[in-house]
Amino acid sequence: MEAWFDFLTIALIGSTSWLIAVRYIVSAIRWLSFQSVMLALYTFALAVQSGRPELYWIAIATLLVKAWLSPYILYRALRHVGIGRQAEKAFGRDLLIVGVLAMWLIGYYVTPQLDAAQGPNLYLSVAIGMLLSGVLIMITHQKAMMQGIGLIVIENGLFLAALSTSLGMPFMVDIGIFLDVLVIVVLIGALTLRMDEQFSSMNLEKLKRLRG
C-alpha cells in the first residue's frame, strides 16, 4: 500500500509542477483533471486502508466534482472564448520550474510536526507545496482562467492536507467544501465570459481601473 501512496504522491507533484509551465489553457485544464483523478485514487486507497465507508463517498465526490464537472465547466467557458488561448506567463518557463521547486522545498521545511510519535508527515509537506504552487500559478499568470485553475490547485492541496493528517475533514464539511468549489468554478467561468465580452480579452492587464 505504501508504494501505491508514494506513486500517487509523485503523480501529484509531477502534475502540479507541469501545470505551471503549460503553454495552452486547455492543457492546463486537462492536467487539473488528471491531478484530481490522482487525488480521488489517493482517497480510495486511504478508504481501503482505513476501512472507513465515508471515504469511499468522498472519493466518488472528488471524481465527480473535481475531476469531471469542474474541468468540464471551465472547458465549456474556454470553448466560448476560443480554445486556442495561451496561458501567458509573466516569467519564462525555466524560471517557473525553479519557482515551483522552491515551493516544494518551502513546503517541506515549514511543515509542522503534528504528532511527535509519528515523525514528519511527508504527505502534508506535499500538500503545503501544492498549496504554495497554486498561489504561484495565480501570481505568475495573466489570464483570468489560469487564476481560477490556480485556485482549484490550492483547494486540492488543502484536500490532501486534510486527508493526510486526519483522514479528511468531517463528512459534512467535506461535502460543503465540494459544493463551494463547484459554485466558485461556475462563477469563474461566468466572470471570464463576461470579461471576454467586455474587454475582448481575459487578460488581467485590463483590470486596472480601480486604484487608490
Partner 1 sequence: MLPILVVAVPLLTALGCAMSKRPHHREMVHLLGSVVSMTVTLWLVWTVTAYGPYSALGQFFFIDPLSALILLITGIVSFSGALHSIGYVQREMQHGVLQDAQMRSYYAWFHGFVATMYFVPMVNNLGIVWVAIEATTITSAFLVALYRSAEALEAAWKYLILCSVGIAFALLGLIVLYSSSINVYGSANNRLDFTFLEQASRPLPMHLLLLAFVLVLVGYGTKVGLAPMHFWLPDAHSQAPSPISAMLSGALLSTALYGILRIVIIVDHAGGSSFVSHVSLAFGLLSLVVAFPFLLLQHDIKRMLAFSSVEQMGILVFGIGIGGPDGFLAALLQMFNHAMTKSTLFMTAGNFVQHYGTKNMQRMGGGLRKLPFTGAVFLIATIALVGAPPFALFTSEFALSAAGFASNHPFATVIFLFLLAAMFGVIIYQAGRILFAKAPGHERHVTTDPWTTWPLLIPLSFVVVLGVFIPHSLQMLFHQAALVLGGRMP
Chain contacts with partner 1 (rule: CB under 8 A): 112, 114-115, 128, 131, 135, 138, 144, 147-148, 151, 154-155, 158, 161-162, 165-167, 169-170, 172-173, 176-177, 179-180, 183-184, 187-188, 191, 194-195, 198-199, 206-210, 212
86: β partners: 24
CB-nearer residue toward partner 1: 92 or 147: 147
Min CB(210)–partner 1 separation in Å = 5
Min CB(164)–partner 1 separation in Å = 9
CB-nearer residue toward partner 1: 58 or 177: 177
CB-nearer residue toward partner 1: 92 or 139: 139
Q: Which contacts qualify for 19-22: CB closer than 8 Å, 24 or more apart?
A: 19/133, 19/137, 19/149, 19/153, 20/96, 20/97, 20/99, 20/100, 20/133, 20/136, 20/137, 20/140, 21/89, 21/93, 21/96, 21/97, 21/100, 22/87
Task: Identify residue 109 by its one-letter amino acid code.
Answer: Y
